[in-house]
Structure 1
Amino acid sequence: MSHAAYVFDAYGTLFDVHAAVRRHAAEIGPDGQAFSELWRAKQLEYSWVRSLMGAYQDFWQLTEQSLDYAFSRFPSADRKLRKPLLDAYWTLDCYPEVPAVLKGLKERGARLAILSNGSPDMLAAAVHNAALEIVIDDVFSVDTVKTYKAAPAVYDLVTTRYRLYPHAVSFQSSNRWDIAGATKFGFRTVWINRADMPDEYRDQGPALILPSLESLQFGI
């Protein structure tokens, strides 16, 4: 095992952020994919803007606000779906390879954690729904420091708790901006490029780029 801890982003890395809309795709109609992408984009935008302003609100509030914005942009989507969509966000599907990958790393002696923008309640629900409690050692939420990724204080939650140097931590995220922040902090980073997106932030490049988490179970 080459790293003392393997730390994972939650949304988009372990859990499929578009699963909520897919569950109601027939009711939303042909704008479903664009609706879901806008909901996610605004969720992230609000986190960055609020960090810059120093006006923190927890991730659940941002999730609600960004959904409301998506409804305003897509009037074809029935607002009666607001509650079902929000409820679905508490039980997002994990990606198919996640349980086996985490189990494999755990069996190799790794310490496993989640480091996420999500609120503690949101993360607890997601972990429980995916039955990951038996493999995840710790769940770190930005709510502790009241700012969002990619602020260094967020990544420092891990090194402070574990008393590790940053290079001893392997950090996995599907979000390239998150990988940039974690790389700058000093983590060894693995970009899980699920959507085959072009690279960005080339001055803060990942150690590895993978299409899914699958290869990680071999401790790479």
Structure 2
Amino acid sequence: ALSDDLMQAYLELSCYPEVPSVLNGLKDRGFRCVVLSNGSPEMLGAAVKNSGLQDVFDAVISIDSIGIYKPDPRVYQMAVDQLGVSSSEISFQSSNAWDAAGAGAFGFKVAWINRFGQQPERLGVVADAELKDLAALPELL
């Protein structure tokens, strides 16, 4: 079935070419790298494994434990609670404008990764930065 094919594709996602070097560089600078996703733990585990970035991420946080989806503020609060920092200390990157807006409204510093030149959504919150990929992220931090 198409839904099975789609779910299988999610399990086999690979990352964009600049991602490993950027994340490893941030890790070397002392940043903690975390995934905060609406995905299931199984999907996220497979995606992280297939990306080859298992050693980069300090945590992979799924909404499964609370059953609420981003952009609900309680999801972003999960990251604050798990990391033990304030919202203003978290730099949040997303390719989804709605997710970037939700994280910004919560108080995270946000970079919207706009790889395909999409028009910004009118959601009342603007990202702190708009990047075409992750390569420029280290300069912002």
TM-score over 0.5 for the alignment?
yes
The structure showing larger relative contact order (alpha-carbon pairs under 8 Å, at least 6 residues apart) is: 1
**CA positional deviation for 1:87:** 2.3
Deviations 1:41-86 (A, max 9, x none): xxxxxxxxxxxxxxxxxxxxxxxxxxxxxxxxxxxxxx5x664443
Q: Aligned partners of 1:169 and 1:151: how far apart in 2?
A: 17
Amino acid at match of 2:91: S
Q: Aligned partners of 2:125 and 2:134: how far apart in 1?
A: 20
User: Any residues of structure 2 matched to 1:124-163 within 5 Å, and which?
Assistant: 124-163=45-84
Q: Aligned partners of 2:91 and 2:75: how far apart in 1?
A: 15
Which structure shows the higher strand fraction?
2
Cα 1:82–1:217 change in 2 (3 A) is: same
**CA positional deviation for 1:144:** 1.6
Q: Aligned partners of 2:126 and 2:14: how far apart in 1?
A: 29
1:201 aligns with 2:122: yes
Please name the residue that 2:113 is paired with: 192
Q: Aligned partners of 2:119 and 2:4: how far apart in 1?
A: 34
Amino acid at match of 2:116: A
Of 100, 106, 121, the residue aligned with 2:21 is 100
Q: Aligned partners of 1:196 and 1:119: how far apart in 2?
A: 28
Cα 1:185–1:214 change in 2 (3 A) is: same
1:213 aligns with 2:128: no
Q: Aligned partners of 1:115 and 1:85: how far apart in 2?
A: 21
Q: Aligned partners of 2:107 and 2:48: how far apart in 1?
A: 27
Q: Aligned partners of 2:5 and 2:110: how far apart in 1?
A: 35
TM-score (norm 1): 0.61
Which structure shows the higher helix fraction?
1
Deviations 1:169-212 (A, max 9, x none): 00000100001100110000000011111112353111100000
Q: Aligned partners of 1:99 and 1:174: how far apart in 2?
A: 17
User: Any residues of structure 2 matched to 1:1-220 within 5 Å, and which?
Assistant: 79=1, 83-201=4-122, 203-218=124-139, 220=141
Contact 1:117 1:142 in 2 (8 A): yes
TM-score (norm 2): 0.93
Cα 1:109–1:200 change in 2 (3 A) is: same
Identity %: 45
Number of aligned pairs?
141
Structure 1, unpaired ranges of 5+: 1-78
| Two-structure CA RMSD over aligned residues (Å) | 1.5
**CA positional deviation for 1:167:** 0.5
Structure with higher Rg: it is: 1
